Structure 1
Amino acid sequence: MMGEIEHGEIRFDIAEREAQVIGDGPRIAALTGDAVDVGTLGLVNAVRNGAGAVSVTPDKIPDYMRTMMKHPELFVRQMEMGTALFNGRIPARERELAILRIGWLTRAPYEWGQHVDIAKRFGVSAEEVERVTRGSADPGWSEHEAAVLRGVEELIGDHAMTSETWEVLARSWDEAQMIEFPSMVGQYVTIAFVQNSLRIMLTPENPGLSHR
């Protein structure tokens, strides 16, 4: 991927990738639930509610979040950014298509599996989830949806969007949405880097990269 724009399908062995980034277990242990304060719990549930998920008690907070809490300053900013994006200007379905493409291109098991479920809450079908793995070149997308996926591909592959992609998105999105899009891509690429590097474990509810 690095240094080139990949608009189509990328092939990799799911089992090998998951063995690489989660197989040896977490590199940093998550905080226990009793170490989570009320304010931090509120931040977590604000993000969850924005994603259409139910509130949780401290012991049910995902391991990823309880691991990030070991760097409270970063965790708070990450939660604030997550809240801003889930309540942002880009329609939820389009946001989730973009995040799925990010999760697939970064081969991030935790991010991909989690956002398959979130995407389905906002109207993305299992067939469309599979189509995301084939990228913007798949003929099933509308012109705008293909541009959303292509924008992700260009930002990850070349660190910039082409004029063609920009112009297609700008026909439907206003200036605030155009600012939000690369910011959102950067946020979820960062999350994938952290999850893959810290070896955040999958849960029984999250099948990882095989999830459809």
Structure 2
Amino acid sequence: MNEEAETARIARRHAQILGDAPRIEALSIDEYSADLDPLIRQMIAINQSIDAREADLLTDVTDAQAQGLGDMSAVLARLPEIIRTMMRHPALFARQTDVGVTLLTQGKLSARDREMAILRVAWLCQAPYEWGEHVMIARHAGIAREEVERIVIGSADPGWNDHDRAILRGVEELHGDAMIADATWAVLAARLDEAQLIELTVLIGQYQAVAYYQNSLKLRLHGGNKGLSAR
């Protein structure tokens, strides 16, 4: 597909997911309660672990609370819409965030393997929010722009080494057949230990779920996220 056609295709996908208002309204400031504080602390942990820009915003909330500031509206209003939307189901979001914190702060996979897998999931799901956010995170993990371009192509790109190709192929096989094939598994097992192999499958499933709710809720991009155009 040439560049012009790809730009048009991405624009259509963005219009499909981002063209209308989100399907569920984000939590308003006057609906926020102290019961949600533990969830905010979880989100701080997960965003600090990947050096995400939301970490400072979340810390502002807890700092304001600790200082007893009477008017929290300005601070809370800065929270990303995704967080305020998922606060509509805080118990579920907290449990899912627990998994995310474990994968990102205690995970056995290298940051490179993790982000390559997440990006391939995001591209296969054509998830603008997830793709755009993790392109930025992947760059911090040392994944170059040229490699991001090749992740779009996937395991078929001839430039990958055997291990990187197997990471991408594992995502593709789980996405298409709900199972990693024996040949791919053998290549992965040559470098990954048993805990890492288990974690890889859970990681892929976790970010498939994230893509599902981000796309279906029509969550809007923010803070420089370029969606599927990001490289």
TM-score normalised by length of structure 1: 0.91
**1:40 Cα deviation (Å)?**
2.0
Aligned position for 1:95: 114
In the TM superposition, structure 1's runs of 4+ consecutive aligned residues that sit over 4 Å from their partners are none
Shift of 1:55: 3.1
CA distance in 1, matches of 2:24, 2:140: 31
Distance 1:106 1:36, change over 3 A: farther
Q: 1:33 to 1:78 in 2, by over 3 A?
A: farther
State the percentage of identical aligned residues: 49
Aligned to 1:130: 149
Question: Which residue is 2:67 aligned to?
Answer: none
Bigger relative contact order, structure 1 or 2 (CA pairs below 8 A, ≥6 apart): 1
Offset from partner CA, 1:140-185 (integer Å, 9 cap, x none): 1111000000000000011100001100000111101111111111
Q: Which residue of 1 aligns with 2:16?
A: 20
**Which position in structure 1 is the counterpart of 2:50?**
51
Gap runs ≥5 in structure 2: 1-5, 62-75
2:86 is the counterpart of 1:64: no
Give CA deviations for 1:81-115 in whole Å, capped at 9, x if unaligned.
11011020010111001100000000000000000
Contact in 2 for aligned 1:33/1:61 (Cα 8 Å)? no
Determine the structure 1 residue equivalent to 2:170: 151
In the aligned structure 2, how far is the partner of 1:55 from the partner of 1:92? 21
Pairs aligned (count): 202
Give the deviation of 1:33 after TM superposition.
Answer: 5.0
Matched residue SS, 2:108: coil
Aligned equivalents of 2:126, 2:224: Cα separation in 1: 18
Distance 1:55 1:167 in 2: 42
Shift of residue 78, structure 1, vs aligned partner: 1.3
Mean Cα deviation higher: 104-113 or 47-56: 47-56
Contact 1:27–1:199 (Cα < 8 Å) also in 2: yes
Whole-Å separation in 1 of the counterparts to 2:169 and 2:82: 28
Q: Which has the larger radius of gyration?
A: 2
- Give the aligned partner of residue 98 of structure 2: 80
1:55 alignment partner AA: D
Offset at residue 116 of structure 1 (A): 0.3
Aligned to 2:39: 40
